[in-house]
Structure 1
Amino acid sequence: MIVNNVLLKLKNQDKNNINKAQGVLLSMKGKINILQDIQVEENVRPGKSTYDLLLITKYASLEDLDAYLTHPAHLEVAKYIGGVLDTQASFCYEIK
């Protein structure tokens, strides 16, 4: 199993903006069949040097992750997130 973690820092860190971004990310659930699991967590200890959201997605293989990245539902979400995103960091690993 492949687990991809993406930390997201938004340009506007208002609670409403964070909640909206979280909802947009979660909207992919059930729309992308190769996406085995999706979780979006809000940082409970926000600050200037922290990230606002953590996106955790799981796939059967790296090929499925690559297919997810080009899936129309993901591209639509990525377009919105790209408009509100300040910076991001990602970490991908395999569970054997």
Structure 2
Amino acid sequence: MIVNNLLLKLKNRDADSIKKTQALLLGMKGKIEVLLDLQAETNIRQGRSAYDIMLITKFKSMEDMETYLAHPVHLEAAQYIVSVLDAQASVCFEIKAE
């Protein structure tokens, strides 16, 4: 399983902006076949170095993740994210079956 974690820091860091962005991300759930799971969690510990939202997505394979990245629903969400984004960081890793 592939797990991709994306940290987002918004330009406007007020509660309404964060909630709107979280809702937009959660709106992808169930609309992209290869997406096994999606979480969009908001940070409860604020600070200058803190990020606002962590998007966690899970896929069966890297190929499925690439399909997700090119999917129209994801591309539409990504277009919005780019417009409100100040900074981002990501970690992608594989969980191997034992």
TM-score class, shorter: over 0.9
Query: 2 CA distance for matches of 1:49 and 1:3?
Result: 23
1:13 to 2:40 alignment:
no
User: Which residue in 2 is equivalent to 1:94?
Assistant: 94
Query: CA shift at 1:47, angstroms?
Result: 1.1
RMSD: 0.4
The residue identity in structure 2 corresponding to 1:41 is E
User: Which residue in 2 is equivalent to 1:37?
Assistant: 37
Query: CA shift at 1:57, angstroms?
Result: 0.1
User: Which residue in 2 is equivalent to 1:27?
Assistant: 27
User: Which residue in 2 is equivalent to 1:55?
Assistant: 55
The residue identity in structure 2 corresponding to 1:17 is S
Could you report, residue by residue, the CA deviation over 1:54-94 in whole angstroms, capped at 9, with x for unpaired residues?
A: 00000000000011000000000000111000010000000
The residue identity in structure 2 corresponding to 1:55 is L
The unaligned stretches of length 5 or more in structure 2 are none
The unaligned stretches of length 5 or more in structure 1 are none
The residue identity in structure 1 corresponding to 2:66 is D
Identity of aligned residues (%): 61
Q: Where does structure 1 differ by over 2 angstroms across 4 or more consecutive aligned residues?
A: none
The number of aligned residues is 96
Query: 1 CA distance for matches of 2:18 and 2:78?
Result: 15
Query: 2 CA distance for matches of 1:48 and 1:21?
Result: 19
Query: 2 CA distance for matches of 1:7 and 1:44?
Result: 14
Query: CA shift at 1:49, angstroms?
Result: 1.0
TM-score by length of 2: 0.97
